[in-house]
Amino acid sequence: MIRVQKEDFDAGQEIRGISAKNVEVGGVASFIGLVRGANEESQITAMTLEHYPGMTEKILFGLESEARTRWQLEDVLIIHRYGELTPGEQIVLVITASAHREDALQSCQFLIDRLKTGAPFWKKEDTPAGSHWVESKAEDDTASERWLK
Amino acid sequence: MIRVQKEDFDAGQEIRGISAKNVEVGGVASFIGLVRGANEESQITAMTLEHYPGMTEKILFGLESEARTRWQLEDVLIIHRYGELTPGEQIVLVITASAHREDALQSCQFLIDRLKTGAPFWKKEDTPAGSHWVESKAEDDTASERWLK
Amino acid sequence: MRILYFGWVRTNIGLGTEEISLPPHVENVEDLIEFLRDQGDGYRAAFENIKAIRVAVDQEMADMATPLNGSKEVALFPPMTGG
Amino acid sequence: MRILYFGWVRTNIGLGTEEISLPPHVENVEDLIEFLRDQGDGYRAAFENIKAIRVAVDQEMADMATPLNGSKEVALFPPMTGG
Cα B76 to Cα B103: distance, rounded to the nearest angstrom: 11
CA distance B46 to chain A (A): 12
Angle between helices B101-118 and B55-70 (to 10 degrees): 150
- What average pLDDT does chain D have? 96
Task: State whether B121 and D81 contact (CB < 8 Å).
Answer: yes
Segment D36-59 shows an average pLDDT of 96
C–D contact (≥3 CB pairs within 8 Å)?
no
Angle between helices B11-20 and A11-20 (to 10 degrees): 160
Contacts of D7 in chain B (CB under 8 A): 50, 122, 124, 133
Segment B64-92 shows an average pLDDT of 98
Helices (H) and strands (E) in chain A, counts: 4, 8
Task: State whether B28 and A16 contact (CB < 8 Å).
Answer: no
ipTM (interface predicted TM): 0.94
Can you give the pLDDT at residue C64?
97
Contact pairs from chain B to chain D, CB under 8 Å: 68
Can you give the pLDDT at residue A128?
95
Q: Is the pLDDT of residue A20 over 80?
A: yes
> What pTM did the predictor assign?
0.95
Contacts of B87 in chain A (CB under 8 A): 23
Task: State whether A26 and B36 contact (CB < 8 Å).
Answer: yes
Q: Hey, which residues does C74 pair with through a beta bridge?
A: C3, C57
Q: Cα torsion at B139, B143, B146, B148 (round to 10°)? A: -110
Can you give the pLDDT at residue B148?
85
Segment D9-24 shows an average pLDDT of 96
Residue-wise pLDDT for C36-79, tens only, equals: 999 999 999 999 999 999 999 999 999 999 999 999 999 999 99
Closest-approach residue (CA) in chain C for A119: C82
> How many other β-carbons are positioned within 10 Å of the β-carbon of residue A74?
22
Dihedral sign, CA of B100, A13, B13, B59? Answer: negative
**Percent of chain B having pLDDT more than 70?**
100
- The answer to whether the beta carbons of residues B69 and A4 sit under 8 Å apart is no
Can you give the pLDDT at residue D8?
98
Can you give the pLDDT at residue D53?
97
- The answer to whether the beta carbons of residues B13 and A12 sit under 8 Å apart is yes
Dihedral sign, CA of B52, B57, B61, B67? Answer: positive
Cα C5 to Cα A122: distance, rounded to the nearest angstrom: 11
- The answer to whether the beta carbons of residues A78 and A9 sit under 8 Å apart is no
- What average pLDDT does chain A have? 96
Would strands B46-51 and B83-85 be described as parallel, antiparallel, or unpaired?
antiparallel
Segment A68-83 shows an average pLDDT of 98
Segment A18-34 shows an average pLDDT of 94
Task: State whether A16 and B13 contact (CB < 8 Å).
Answer: no
In the chain, the amino acid numbered B42 is S
Segment A24-44 shows an average pLDDT of 95
- The answer to whether the beta carbons of residues C53 and C33 sit under 8 Å apart is yes
Can you give the pLDDT at residue A41?
86
Cα D12 to Cα C76: distance, rounded to the nearest angstrom: 70
Can you give the pLDDT at residue B47?
98
Q: What angle do CA B127, B128, B132 make, to 5 degrees?
A: 35
Closest-approach residue (CA) in chain D for B78: D83
* pLDDT band (50, 70, 90) for residue B65: very high
